Amino acid sequence: MTSLVVYDAVRSRIETQWTATPIAWPNEPLTLPVEGTAGFDGCFVALEFDGRLFGQASIGAPDDQRWDEAGTVWAHVMAPAGSGERVQRGHAVAFVDLFRGQEIGAIEFQDCEIGPGGPDEDGSWWRISVRIEFTRQA
């Protein structure tokens, strides 16, 4: 589980800088715009957070110890099945660009990957998953 520090920093960045698609936050309701609504191309981004809390990165007196958090932000760019991948891949690249090589406080966003596409469990949606690795010195 990712810490609140990372979750809040990622959420703030997305809410202030991402306008391309609706965002499906973990365990929150999502209502998509009606098909044909201006600016809505049928895609949305579903987020997941995976964290590894905390690895000791130093040895020393208790006040001098450093514990690093590492983890992954997963962004699944979803599109209706059969609608093609071009627009969806454009969203994936743009989402990566929000974080690639960026720092937010003590959080460093590092390696990013855009995976292959594939259907969801019931075949209604096509998913392209984006992996964004991070570390945070705590």
pLDDT of 2 = 85
Q: Which two tokens stand for residue 135?
A: 């570390």
- 3-class DSSP string for 79-120: EECCCCCHHHHHHHHHHHHHHCCCEECCEEEEEEEEEEEEEC
Cα(112)–Cα(92) distance, rounded to whole angstroms? 11
pLDDT of 39 = 87
pLDDT of 95 = 98
pLDDT of 64 = 65
- The CATH number of whichever domain residue 94 belongs to comes to 3.30.2000.20
Where does residue 19 fall: left (phi above 0), alpha (psi -120 to 50 degrees), or beta otherwise?
alpha
Name the maximum alpha-carbon separation found in the chain: 61
pLDDT digits (tens, 9 = 90+) for 22-80: 999 999 999 999 988 988 999 999 999 998 766 665 666 666 676 788 999 999 999 99
Cα(95)–Cα(120) distance, rounded to whole angstroms? 20
pLDDT digits (tens, 9 = 90+) for 64-100: 676 788 999 999 999 999 999 999 999 999 999 999 9
pLDDT of 18 = 97
User: Does the global pTM surpass 0.85?
Assistant: yes
Q: Which two tokens stand for residue 78?
A: 């979803």
Domain count, the chain: 1
Region 123-133: mean pLDDT is 96
Cα(77)–Cα(95) distance, rounded to whole angstroms? 9
Q: Which has more confidence, 109 or 57?
A: 109
List the domain range (segments joined by +) for residue 128. Answer: 4-58+65-137
